[in-house]
Every structure is written in structure tokens, then in C-alpha cells.
Amino acid sequence: MESSDKSKMVYRYLGNSGLKVSLLSFGTMLNEHTEETEKAWLECAKLAFDSGINYFDSAEVYGFGKGDELLGRAIKENEWRREDLVIAVKFFMGSGPNRNGLSRKKIIEATRASLKRMGLDYCDIVYAHRDDHETPLEETCRAFNWLIKKGYAFYWGTSAWPADMITEAIKICDQHGWYRPVVDQAEYNCLSRQHLEKSNVRLFENYRYGISAWSPLGGGFLTGKYNDGTIPEDSRYGKSEMHKKFNWDRYIGELTKEKALKILQDLKELADELGVTQAQLALAWVLVNQDVSTCIIGASKVSQLESNLGALDLIAKWDKDLEAKVEAILDNTPQRDFNFKHWGVLPARREKVVKYNTKLGQIEYKDDYDTYFC
């Protein structure tokens, strides 16, 4: 894929909204902030925009505000037109009694602070970066509605919220005539499927709720770098015990190590047959899921981002046979709930897929009871 080729980028609506976002989005999270890493990120950000990515994702916790500053710098240095960008900010964490959570004070102050760091008047999407069970949900919804009414944001969303809490938030907003949340930022990859393919299904069916997927490569495990089960010293897991505990032990823990490594190795074999990288195959698997509005990727160097952008070529070729091959390797499809009306388990979310057209604008779904288009 040419570095300045925008023709292959796919754009989808962000859930049940009129906002179009690039299927791939670019995040500001860096493992460390140095002059070298920030320079590399800025180069990648330019390539991302030149390749059709319009959605840039940041959060106050990324570098403790440095991610926001870096994104603002990219916008200014490249002279990007604001209307060509979809900027997302997130907040929740912080030290001090009122610097974390989702109180009205936290929501409004954190949004203003993020915008100030980026040098912007408004963002397109503001996320509640995790849920808060101590603050009344009505207070949280009211505060996000205020942000939108005052022009600080256009849409609001959740991040890794449980489905029942999202549903409750939607009902509260409907009751008061407030702006609903339209999107959840959720982990989704070949090794982590439960949230999207089981827990959130009713949100998709009832509200067309959007998803901005994060960690599509499973914290790097799906790139092929760790297929032999060892940790390179120069990798993030070799350098950081915190990262190792959070992801390595979760994905490649002793209880699941044998199965996980077999999945990784079989994916590599299939990728080789297709003439693509293992990362491209894993990314494409995420992208063809129509419940995904956009998928957040990162990169530490231009060549890495160029390679990941190649996943767009593979989704145009995706068909039911390839879907079946990947499913056979993963063997981890979340089981849907039992349906007494039809006396059987509902089809798994991805099992409905029959075919994809080259632009993924229309996909035909078919199950035992009906056929429909979306």
C-alpha cells in the first residue's frame, strides 16, 4: 500500500450516528516518551492521515497528558484542517479525591484540560475511560450532555463498560431528552472475544451501538513476535513487569499457554499461505466484523504502520472460506444464549457472515430464521 494512498481506506458510521470514521484509527499511547519516540510517532501520524485515517484517539492517562500534547503538535505542524479530523479524548484516572471517576466536576475539568493541551476548541468524541460505580449514573450522563450542549464535544461514549450499565445510561438519557452515548471502546482481538460477541450483542441489535476496538493485536501477541513462547529482552514485556503481568500472564499464562501458542503458530501458517503477515491477518479478522466502527492501532515506526495498513488489502478478499479457516484455528467462539422461541442456541455473532463485498459497505447475513442486509 502506497504511503499516500487513501483510496483503500474504508469509512463506517460511528454506531447509530451520522459521524463517519476511518476503519483504522491511530492512537497516541506510547510505552515511553523520549525525543526519539515522539519524533517517530509524529512521522507515523502523518502517514496515518495521508493514508486516509481521520480518527485520532488520545487520553489524559497517555503519558499523563503528553499524548494530548503530541496530537496537538501533529495537527499544528501538518496544518490539518479540523473538519477532516475526528478527535477522541478519554478520562477517568488521576490522583486526589476529585481527580478520578466520573463526577460532573471531573468530566468537565478533564475535557477542558485535554482540549487545552491539544490546542483545540472542541473534540468530536469524549469517552468515559472505564465505569464508575460510586458516582450516580444520572450525574455522569447529565455532565456529558452538558459538554455536548456547550460545544466541547459532538458525541460521547463509554470505554469497557458492562452492557447493562450502557443500557441503563441510554435509558436515563432517553428519559431526560439528553444525548445518548453512541460508542464503546472495547478490547477485541482473536484471543479476546467475549465482550463484543456475547456481552454486547443486545446493544448492537437494539441500539446499533458502535465499537472502537482497542488491542486488535492482543498487546503484540498476534504479531508473531512471541510465537515461540519466549519474551525478547528488548520487547515491552522484557522491559516492563507491569506490561508482562497485565497482558502476557493473561494471554499466555501457564493454564492457557499450550493452546495460545498453537493458535499463534497456526495463524502464522495460514498467513504465510495467504502471502500476508500474521499481524495483517489478525487485524483483518477484527475489521471485517461489522459491529466494529473503527479499530485503534499504534506504531513505533513507519514501516510497522505501513505493514499494518496492508490489512485493508486483505479485508477486500475476505470470504466465508477464509472466515471458516480462522475460526477453526481459534476455536474460541463465545456461545450465545439459549433461545426458547426457536428451541436452540442463537448463531454466534460472526457465524452469520456469508460474504463481504470489496468495500464492506453491504454485508449479507443469514441464519436459520431470516436473511437481511445492513
Catalytic positions, written as ranges: 62
**What's the CA gap between 110 and 270, in Å, rounded?**
45
Element at 25 (helix H, strand E): strand 24-27
Residue type at 336 in one-letter notation: R
Which DSSP symbol is given to 358?
T
SS3 state at 366: strand
Q: What is the dihedral of CA 334, 340, 341, 346, to 10 degrees?
A: 10
Q: List the grid coordinates of 148.
A: 455536548
CB 261 within 8 A of CB 252: yes
Taking alpha carbons only, the member of 21, 22, 40 closest to residue 31 is: 40
Element at 91 (helix H, strand E): strand 86-91
- The β-bridge partners of 339 are 344
DSSP per-residue letters across 202-256? HHHHHH--EEEEE-TTGGGGGGTTTTTS---TTSHHHH-HHHIIIIIHHHS-TTT
**What's the CA gap between 30 and 347, in Å, rounded?**
39
DSSP per-residue letters across 152-215? S-SEEEEES--HHHHHHHHHHHHHHTPPPEEEEEEE-BTTB-HIIIIITHHHHHHH--EEEEE-
Which position has the grid cell 506510547? 30
Which DSSP symbol is given to 319?
B
